Structure 1
Amino acid sequence: MSIVKEFLLLKRDLGGLIILFIMPLVLVITVTLIQDSTFKTVSDSKIPILLVDNDKGSVSKTVFENLEKSNLFSVVTQIDNKTITEDVARENVYKGKFQLAIVIPENLSSDLQAKVDQNVEKIVSSLGMTDSTSASEPQRIIKEKEVKLYFDPAVQMSFKNAVMSSIDKMISQIETKSIYTTFQNQLGEGTTDFEQKSFISFKEIIPKINNKEVRPNSVQHNVPAWTLFAIFFIVIPLSINIVKEKSQGTFIRLRTNPVSNLVVIIGKTITYSIICMIQFYMMVAVAVFLFPSIGLPSLNIEGHLALMSVVALFSGFAAIGFGILLGTVASTQEQSAPFGATSVIILAAIGGIWVPVFAMPKIMQIIAKSSPMNWGLDAFYDVLLRNVSFLEIIPKISLLFLFFILTTAIALFYDKKKRTV
C-alpha cells in the first residue's frame, strides 16, 4: 500500500511527471543535436576565414592553396569587392563576423628564400664545396617574420590551438621544401626528386568488438550522461513529497500504523526505482529509434542493455537515497526544491556530466571522485564504450549502493532523533 500511495501522489502531480519524463527526453535530444551539429560544423562544413596577403609571393600562394584544399576553411580575400587590409580584418574578427584572420607579412617569400640560401651556403662552404670568395661575402641580416592570427574573442581555446597547430605545420612544410630545393640547386642536382611526404605518421588504433570497430560518437557520450542527470532529478519530486507528508500530517498518520519508518522508505524506494528504470528505457528507446530519423547516430546497445540496466538501477538507488535524506532534513518545500535542484547540478558539474573529468584542474579531478554521478557515468562508459564484464563494474555500483545505504541510514537516524526530542 505504501507503493500504491506513492504512485497516487505522482499521478496527481502533473508538473512532477513532466519533470520526470518529458524534460529528460527534451534535454537529451537538444544537447545531443547541439553537440552533434558542432562536430559537423568542425568536420563537414567550412569555416570562412580572412586572409590578408602582404607578401604576394610563393609562400602566401602556397598557404592560400593549402587552406582552400583543407576541409576546415574557406578563404575570403575581399569584402565588398575590396581587398582586405589588416585593419579591416581585425575589425571584422573582433566584431564576431569572422572567427579568424591570417595576416601574411611583406617579403615573406623572398626573405625566407634568402635565409634558407644563407644557411645552405654555410653548410656547403663548411664542406669545402664552394670557392672562398663567395663564402667570405658579408651576409645580409634577415629579421624573423611573423604570421599574425586574429581570433574572435568568443572562440574557444581548443579551436585556437587546432588552427595554430595546422598553420604551423603548413609553414614548416613550406620551409622544408625551400631547404630541399636550395640544396638541390647548390649541388647542381636539378633532376633529383626529394620526397616531401612526412616519414613519420600517426595512426589511430580503434578497438574492435566482434570484429567491428567501436567509434564513439556524440550519442554514446550524451545518452549515459543525461540519463544520469534525469535519474538524479527525481530528488526534487521525491523530497517535495516527503515534505508534503510532514506538513499535511500524512506522515504522522502513517507512523500510527503498526509499521516502522523503514517500510515507508522501502515503498518509496521501490516506487522511484521503477520510475528511474522507465526513464532509462525511454531515453534508450529515443536514442535507438528516434535519433536516426532526426539525423543523429543511433545508440548501439548490442549486448550492453542488461549491464546498462544494472548501472541505471543502482544509480537510481543513489538518487533515491539522496532524495530521502533531503526530504527528511528539509522542513518546507521552499527548502527542498531549490536545494535539490542546485545540488543535482553541482553533482553533475563535478561528476563529469558537462565537462570531462580529465579536462578539470587536479583538485577538481580529486573532488569528482566523490560524486555519485561520476561513479554512475564511469560505469556506463565501461559498459557502453569499454565493453567490460559485470565483475569489472561491481566496484562502481557498490559505491552507488553504499551511498544509498548511507544516506538512507542518516535520514532514518535524523528522523528518529528529531521525534525523540
Structure 2
Amino acid sequence: MYKLLMSVNKEILLLRRDLGGLIILFIMPLVLVITITLIQDSTFKTATETKIPILLVDNDKGEISGTVLKSLGESGSFKVITQFGGKPLNEEVARDKVFDGEYQMAIIIPADLSAGLKAKVDENVNSILEGFSATDSVAAKPEVIIDTAPKEVRLYFDPASQTAFKNAVKSTIDKMISQIETKSIYTAFTEQMGEETTAAFKQESYISFKEIVPMFENKAMVPNSTQHNVPAWTLFAMFFIVVPLSINIVKEKNQGTQVRLRTNPVSYFTVIAGKTVTYLIICMLQFFLMVAVGIYLFPHIGLPPLDLNGAFLLMSVVALFSGFAAVGFGILLGTFAKTQEQSAPFGATSVVILAAMGGVWVPVFAMPKIMQYIAKASPMNWGLEAFYDVLLRNNTLAGILPQIALLFLFFVAMVAISIVYDEKKRAV
C-alpha cells in the first residue's frame, strides 16, 4: 500500500508541474459542453417554438387556399406571409426571395384549384351514381365547363433547407389537401342524393397518436439537450486524458525514470496502479464539474438544467468505470508509443474516432447499418448507453451491469496487454 501511495504521489507531482495542461483537461470539456448544448438547444427551440416565416401565393382564392392558410397559421410552426408592401405576392417575387435565402420556402397555389377539384369530384360521383337507380331521381343541373385537368401546388425551398424539413412540409400540405378532397367527395354525394347533411362532416381524424413518456415520481421524463450532452461530453473529456497519460509514460521511458523505478523493488503493476488511481481521480473530478455546470450554470445562460432524477449515485458508478476504460487505453498507448510525437497525435485522433463511433456526435441510430455494428465496439458507446439508461430510462444497477462490466474488462485487457508487452520488451 505504501508503494502505491508513493506512486500516486509521484503522478500528482508530475501533474503539478504542468498546471496549464491540467487546467485544459477541465476547461476544454466545459467549453465544449456549453457550446454544443447552446447550439443544439437553440436548434431545438427553432424547430419547436419559433415560427418559421413562409411565403404563400394564393392564385386560387377558394376553399383550398383558405384551408391551407388557416391550417398553416394554426399549426404554431409557421408565420404565413401573403403580401409585401400592401400588395399580394406573385410567384416570381416569392421564388426570388426564397432562392436568395431570405425565406425558407414559398407555396404557390394555382388558379381555380378549388373549383377544379369540385368539378372533378362531381364528375367522379356522377359516374358512380349512374350505375344506381337513385340517379334517375337526381335533378339535372346545368353543365358548367370547368377545367378538371390535374393541378400542381408548387413549392419553392431555400437550397440550404434540410431534406427532413422539406419532407415534413410536403407531408403537412398533402394531409391538408387530402382532408379537403375527402370533404368534397362527401359533399358531392349528399348534394346528388338530395340531402342537406354537409354540416355533419367533420375533418377530425378518427385515429390519433399519443406519445407515452416514462414517468419518475409523477413527472414526465422528457429528455432535453442538456441530458444528452452532459453525459456525452463528460465521456469525451474522460477519454481525452489518454493524451497526457500516454505522454507521461513516454517521458518516463525516454528520461530513464522508468528504469530507475525498476531498479527499486517496485513492480510495473504498482507503477500502473499509481497512474490508474491518479487519473481516475481526475476523471471523477471532470464528471463532478460537468454535472455541477449542468445543474447550476446552465439555468443562468438560458439552458435547461440537468435533472438527475435521483440518479447521481448510479451516474457516478458509470463515470468511475468509464474512467477505468479511459485510463486503460491511455496506459496501453503510452506503453506502445516510443515518442511523444507518436502518443499525442494518435491519442487525440483515436479519442475523436471513438467518440464519433460511440454516438457522442451523431446518434447511433442515425448511422449506416455497418457503423451501428461497429459502434458497439466503442467503449464510449458502452459508457454513453449506461449514462442514458440511468438518466433517461430510469434503469437500476442491475440494468447497467453489462455496460460497466464491458468497461472494466476493457480496462483489464488494456493493462494486461501493457504489462505483457513491457515484460517481453525487457526480456529481449
Q: How far apart, CA to CA, are the structure 1 residues paired with 2:415 and 2:162?
A: 43
Q: Is the CA contact (8 Å cut-off) linking 2:309 and 2:391 kept in structure 1?
A: no
Deviations for 1:85-106, whole angstroms, at most 9, x for unmatched residues?
A: 3343333323322222222223
Aligned to 2:39: 34
Aligned to 1:402: 409
Task: Give the SS at the match of 2:106.
Answer: strand
Cα pair distance change 1:126/1:16, threshold 3 Å:
farther
Q: How far apart, CA to CA, are the structure 1 residues paired with 2:23 and 2:132?
A: 81
Deviation at 1:23, TM superposition (A): 1.1
Deviation at 1:83, TM superposition (A): 4.2
Q: How far apart, CA to CA, are the structure 2 residues paired with 1:244 and 1:51?
A: 67
Which residue, 117, 121, 124 being the options, matches 1:119?
124
The amino acid of 2:9's aligned partner reads: V
CA RMSD of aligned residues (A): 2.2
Aligned to 2:76: 71
Aligned to 1:229: 236
Q: Does residue 43 of the first structure (1) align with residue 48 of the second (2)? A: yes
The amino acid of 2:219's aligned partner reads: K
Aligned to 1:89: 94
Q: How far apart, CA to CA, are the structure 1 residues paired with 2:245 and 2:253?
A: 13
Task: Give the SS at the match of 2:130.
Answer: helix
Q: Does residue 10 of the first structure (1) align with residue 10 of the second (2)? A: no
Deviation at 1:134, TM superposition (A): 5.9
Q: Is the CA contact (8 Å cut-off) linking 1:288 and 1:300 kept in structure 2?
A: yes
Task: Give the SS at the match of 1:28.
Answer: helix
Q: Is the CA contact (8 Å cut-off) linking 2:116 and 2:147 kept in structure 1?
A: no
Q: How far apart, CA to CA, are the structure 1 residues paired with 2:150 and 2:336?
A: 68
Deviations for 1:295-328, whole angstroms, at most 9, x for unmatched residues?
A: 2222121321111111000001101111111111
Cα pair distance change 1:139/1:214, threshold 3 Å:
same
Task: Give the SS at the match of 1:52.
Answer: strand
Deviation at 1:154, TM superposition (A): 2.2
Which residue, 375, 389, 399 being the options, matches 1:382?
389
Deviation at 1:418, TM superposition (A): 2.3
Q: How far apart, CA to CA, are the structure 2 residues paired with 1:379 and 1:401?
A: 13
Aligned to 2:284: 277
Q: Is the CA contact (8 Å cut-off) linking 1:24 and 1:230 kept in structure 2?
A: yes
Deviates more, 1:249-258 or 1:324-333: 249-258
How many equivalent residue pairs?
A: 420
Q: Does residue 178 of the first structure (1) align with residue 164 of the second (2)? A: no
Aligned to 2:369: 362
Deviates more, 1:81-90 or 1:159-168: 81-90
Cα pair distance change 1:81/1:9, threshold 3 Å:
farther
5+ residue gaps, structure 2, are 1-5
Deviations for 1:379-416, whole angstroms, at most 9, x for unmatched residues?
A: 11111111111112111101001111111111222222
Aligned to 2:134: 129
Q: Is the CA contact (8 Å cut-off) linking 2:116 and 2:146 kept in structure 1?
A: no
Deviates more, 1:37-46 or 1:155-164: 155-164
Aligned to 1:250: 257
What's the TM-score, normalizing by structure 1? 0.94
Task: Give the SS at the match of 2:269.
Answer: helix
Q: How far apart, CA to CA, are the structure 1 residues paired with 2:252 and 2:165?
A: 52
Deviation at 1:191, TM superposition (A): 4.6
Deviations for 1:77-123, whole angstroms, at most 9, x for unmatched residues?
A: 34566544334333332332222222222321121111111122223
Q: How far apart, CA to CA, are the structure 2 residues paired with 1:153 and 1:235?
A: 42
Q: How far apart, CA to CA, are the structure 1 residues paired with 2:10 and 2:166?
A: 56
Which residue, 333, 336, 339 being the options, matches 1:332?
339
Deviations for 1:195-216, whole angstroms, at most 9, x for unmatched residues?
A: 2211111111122122222111
Aligned to 2:324: 317
Which residue, 9, 12, 20 being the options, matches 2:25?
20
Deviates more, 1:51-60 or 1:369-378: 51-60
The amino acid of 1:127's aligned partner reads: F
Q: Does residue 297 of the first structure (1) align with residue 304 of the second (2)? A: yes
Cα pair distance change 1:309/1:76, threshold 3 Å:
same
The amino acid of 1:294's aligned partner reads: I
Q: Is the CA contact (8 Å cut-off) linking 2:321 and 2:404 kept in structure 1?
A: yes
The amino acid of 1:361's aligned partner reads: P
Q: Is the CA contact (8 Å cut-off) linking 1:118 and 1:139 kept in structure 2?
A: no
Deviates more, 1:329-338 or 1:75-84: 75-84
